[in-house]
Amino acid sequence: MAELHCERRNQRPNIYNSVFYETLVSTLSVIRLKGQADRRLRAGHQWIYSNEVNTDATPLKQFNAGDQVIVETAHGKPLGVAMINPNTLICGRLISRSTDTVLNKSTIVHRLKIALSLRDSVYPEPYYRLVFGDSDGLSGLVVDRFADILVVQISTAGIERVKNEVIEALQEVVKPSAILMKNDGKMRNVEGLDTYVEEVFGHVPEVVYLKENDVLFQAPVWDGQKTGWFYDHRENRKTMQTFCSGKKVLDVFSYVGGWGVQAAAAGATEVTFIDASEAALDHVDANLALNQYEGESNLMQGDAFEAMNALIEEKQRFDVVVMDPPAFIARRKDIKAGEGAYHRANQLAMRLVAKGGILVSGSCSMHLETGRLHDIVRSNSRQLERFSQLVYRGTQAPDHPVHPAIPETEYLKALFYRVHNNMGL
């Protein structure tokens, strides 16, 4: 039996010597990695850094941004197919670990169906992030769904190269009435791509409607931040609602009111919103009206730090304070300055929390670890002589799945603290 087993094993097709592989290599160019540079990819990560490529054997300058290439180890064994951009630090993004798969309409359709099945299994209504980049096997692609309207963001040259295939695949899988390309993000500049916002299918109105936690919203998809809405805090907002009935709430960096309007819908008697954008606060007003809010609402336009200081001087206190700022840490080199901004913001927020009230401290900065955010709030508690208790630790919603080998896909934090005056502890 041992000899028979050995004979059968030797007869098994060898991918490295197969006619198919030779044909594919003749179609796609090859990048070869340096020694040991394949370890992270073998562990599950999908990114290739430019300093990991053997540029003597395979110069990066020979490629065009968006090309698809075969990735080989230092010894010439194929690891899969990747999109390449020779002009960026992350120069490669793995498409597949099989050399017989390229990124085309068929591949995109298949992965969209898998992504859709997850969202449909979790959410009863079609309001969610349909595609979350690397976590859904489509690095550089984000798709948010607002019923039958899709808002798409492309941030890599590889996905931009197959933009038409993406549109066709979305039409086939989701059958939307309209698609908006919201391609104005900062990452496009890094990738050497033009920025633009355009309808590519159907008609997309200035605002679209959605429902989150049974609360209605309008989102400014053309002119708003990112895709116009942030689905990632959905579960954290739902938890926040449990603390809001009959309470006075402050929503800092409110944007269009994702937190504060849900607090109002949960029975808050008074909600104050702070945002730098007058247009965003106009949408807050509209969203309160959509939900027929009859309590008191206060809209404060201006710098959030100045507005919080003004509220402190007025001796205002709130039962629930939500501090969910934009990413203060966009890159690793911003960590020191960004942590300082989180410290100042949370300190001001904590000073505005009434005795026994709730502070919600959020962060969308991937480079700020959850433990570090907790340290910042703990430090503020000691400096202000407050006694704080961590009562809930939240992360991103299921429509923003985390790729277990790509820590960059786990970015969102929401820490809920009950805050008391100094208890002598």
- Residues annotated as catalytic (active site), given as ranges: 364
For residue 164, count other CB atoms closer than 10 A to its CB.
Answer: 10
Look at residue 202 and give its three-state secondary structure.
coil
Look at residue 118 and give its three-state secondary structure.
helix
The one-letter amino acid at 113: K
| Tokens matching residue 345 | 């913001």
Name the pairing type of β-strands 248-252 and 318-323: parallel
Residues 6 or more apart whose CB falls under 8 angstroms from that of 76 comprise 32
Pair 270, 294: CB distance under 8 Å? no
In sequence order, the β-bridge partners of residue 196 are 183
For every residue of 315-340, DSSP letters joined together read: T--EEEEEE----S-SSGGGHHHHHH
| Tokens matching residue 368 | 């700020």
Pair 191, 88: CB distance under 8 Å? yes
Pair 125, 146: CB distance under 8 Å? no
The one-letter amino acid at 393: R
Torsion of the alpha carbons at 78, 81, 84 and 90, rounded to the nearest 10: -80
Which among 43, 98, 31 is positioned nearest to 68, based on CA atoms? 31
Query: Could you give the C-alpha distances from 185 to 24, 362, 388, in angstroms and in order?
Result: 34, 22, 37
Pair 179, 170: CB distance under 8 Å? yes
The one-letter amino acid at 209: Y
Look at residue 95 and give its three-state secondary structure.
strand
The one-letter amino acid at 419: V
Q: Phi and psi (nearest 5°) for 116?
A: -65, -40
Pair 270, 321: CB distance under 8 Å? no
For every residue of 275-301, DSSP letters joined together read: ES-HHHHHHHHHHHHHTT--SEEEEEE
